[in-house]
Amino acid sequence: MLPSLEAVVGRCEVPLYCVGVVTTAWLCLWTVFRLLSGVRVWVLGNGRVVSPQLGKWAVVTGATDGIGKAYAEQLAQRGFAVVLISRSQEKLDNVSKSIESCFGVETKTIAVDFGATDIYPTIEAGLAGLEIGVLVNNVGISYSYPEYFLNVTELDQFISTMVNVNITSVCQVSTCPPPPLFFPESKGVILNISSASAMYPVPLLSVYSASKAFVDYFTQGLNMEYKNKGIIIQSVLPFFVATKMSKVRKATLDKPTPERYVAAQLKTVGLQCQTNGYLPHAIMGWLTTALLPVSVMTRVAMRVNKALRAAYLKKRKER
């Protein structure tokens, strides 16, 4: 004779109750842990890690505008001498004079075009003999406007330049400082500037998104390789910051100035190997990855970028 429904429910009541208790306790502990971790990173921070005790010099690529310039200034404010690497010698000289005047530190400039691949001996020679404590691989380029892959003007050159600037530079510059930051007895910080677009595919910005995903994965791999050897290697994934490259002209809470973003990001060094760098961006990153499927975010990005593409082409046609 089969047991009655009441008997089956009675037998399951205690095990189900135990499962519910354990699940609730685990969720409570996880929530408390996440809140405490958030307070540790975003309220208390770790601002003392990045200091000249790591080494006299900080090296910043793409240092004449936007986030790169903000890193150079913030590091100079902390007492680092700064090596500025970018394409325009005129812009490098202007930023160099400004930093020396405002912060009273030594600077050095190296003018190279990261779109080329024969520049790294020049960079290595320029860094020879320097005690380097911080390297910021910031240089990067994006699309002039969202576009379908096969419609990009001069596609072959576009691909080559994007790969050289966004990918090759990160790998090659990391090997240039002599002695390398990767020596067993070294200490230092390497910040590789990726992008929030690396967190999921971004249609109509496909090459840029993929190149920044490379930077993120490369950085996380290096961090695992060298985390026990005194080197902090961090992947930085900002959302929009008010810079020329992002075409955001007015800073807001979720689109901060480069100075505000960098000041917040430097406090996360040593606390997160992968960071959005800024509390509103961290919240946006959590919402768009933990709560929404990648397929949803990809469709949303496609819709937004199609609208931006149409607006750009319409405006260009009207000119």
Tokens of 116: 């080329």
Give the other-Cβ count within 10 Å of 245's Cβ.
Answer: 15
Looking up tokens 């937004």 gives 304
CA-based nearest residue to 108, from 126, 94, 129, 122: 126
Q: Which residues pair with 192 in a beta bridge?
A: 137, 235
Is 217 known to be catalytic? no
Q: Write the CA distances from 6 to 1, 11, 16, integer angstroms.
A: 14, 9, 15
CA-based nearest residue to 58, from 98, 88, 99, 90: 99
CA dist 60 and 151 (Å) reads: 33
What is the torsion angle, in degrees rounded to the nearest 10, for the CA atoms of residue 67, residue 73, residue 76 and residue 80?
20
**What residue spans of the chain are helical by DSSP H?**
5-38, 66-77, 89-103, 120-127, 155-163, 169-173, 206-226, 258-266, 279-290, 294-318
CA-based nearest residue to 176, from 138, 130, 211, 220: 130
Question: Which residue out of 120, 143, 200, 208 is catalytically annotated?
Answer: 208
Tokens of 24: 């609730």
CA dist 174 and 179 (Å) reads: 11
In the chain, the N- to C-terminal Cα span, in Å, equals 85
Q: Which residues are catalytic?
A: 208
